[in-house]
Structure 1
Amino acid sequence: MPTPPYRLIADELRRRILSGELAPGDTVPGENALVAQYSVAAETARKALGVLAAEGLTEARRGSGTRVREFRPILRQATKRLAAAQWAQGRSIWQADLDQRPMSVDSLTVTEQPCPEHVAAALGLEPTEPVWVRDRRYLVEGQAVMLSTSYLPARLVAGSAITAPDPGPGGIYARLAELGLGPVRFREQVRARMPLPDEAAALGLALGAPVVLIVRYAYSEDGLPVEVNEMVLDASRYLLEWEFPA
């Protein structure tokens, strides 16, 4: 089956972007230019540009057309960011990712509520048992990049700084350590999927853009599960890396 013309155009533009011929910030040929260059209908050109936008390679700017996205992907090195040497010294695990790039948190809520059924088993709780839920959105260089929801058993963390909006230096893992529950082992599960409508809105995703879901489980020295963290990442803004010995 022959490749549709819009796909051929998108493939060529993608090649130019990935090769560096079209650099970050450069203007991508617009609809009219593509119609003239490839002798196609405007709808075909529009669909080709839509493919690149959905892949996160381009972004439309009011008054200046479509440009190659300038945002540099975040290198998320799981083994480095979760090392105790990072959070035990009072540093945010985000400092391992950002290389001095500005990060902020908004839409932060911290509430006590019944444990969701899909999380309860992982925490060794009944669905009716209370958990503290930390729900937040992370922005890097002013761009929404990740939604994160942490669940911690209320019977373990009630009355601690973990239940405050700002848990203090080193974040919740440093506070867990002060409670004698510092994580010594993590497990992460990763999968790609399409975003739910509220996730797409919160991350400002283009139609058809995927997300990466990472679910992290943290365990104390005696094997007690102390946190489940569900993270929804804008797939176009991340490079995920794991490093481990052979």
Structure 2
Amino acid sequence: MGRIGDDCQLDVEMAEQARALHRVVRAMHDGHCPSCGHLDDASNFIVDRDTNVESHSCPNCKFRIFRQESEAALAEFRPYLKKSVDVFEAWRKERGPLEHPAANLVSIDGERYENIMWNETEELRQDEIDAGWHFCNEMDGLLINANDPANSFCGCLATSEDHAPLVTIRKEFVEEEFRDNLNYLLAKNGAKIEAECRCQCESEHVGGGRIVVTIPAYRSKGGLCVRERCEIDLGPVVRNPKEQPNER
């Protein structure tokens, strides 16, 4: 059978019942009836949700399993599934770390994530804090991991005395975000911005000005760059993006 087959015990007689039970429960939870083969949205299988008789029932043939039955069936299969996890972890260790930077992040599972987000008594562990988990100011307090490439916009930890900057916000992103915010405000107020000379200079200078916005670089207390310096040339006029070209 081989080492993995022996470790998992998925094909030996003593585990076959647990395996069959697991297949039925999983299929019903996925919206696929193991009895008649009917396939539907998983939510359409749920009956009497959040009651003591909650169950999954096929809309077609009415085959039904109760929540208590599901929990008992999964409990029987759990020891064999755990052996599969042990095999996976051994394989992962032999394979070595993945190259993708997000692959080695300290993860927070769904239940713990909800507890930390909404339960004031639940706190982040030190290893989670060290890994970059924090409540992001850029995301209105949402719990995120700043080391995840998907959250490269976040510079919260860069201002902390206890953490070095994790990302540098590039000037291209700074300009894009500024223009988006400016266009939003102009559209919201039906406004425009126009350069105007007020220095009593010669006539050839009138109307020749340009609007240039300078956003300074931002550095952490440790002196590392968090946001690059950016100069944005908006030209002589910035119009409401909803304004038609022929409007004055």
Larger RCO of the pair (alpha carbons < 8 Å, separation 6+): 1
- TM interval, shorter chain, is under 0.3
Point out the structure with max Rg over C-alpha: 2
TM-score, with structure 2 as normaliser: 0.23
Q: As a proportion of its length, which structure holds more strand?
A: 1
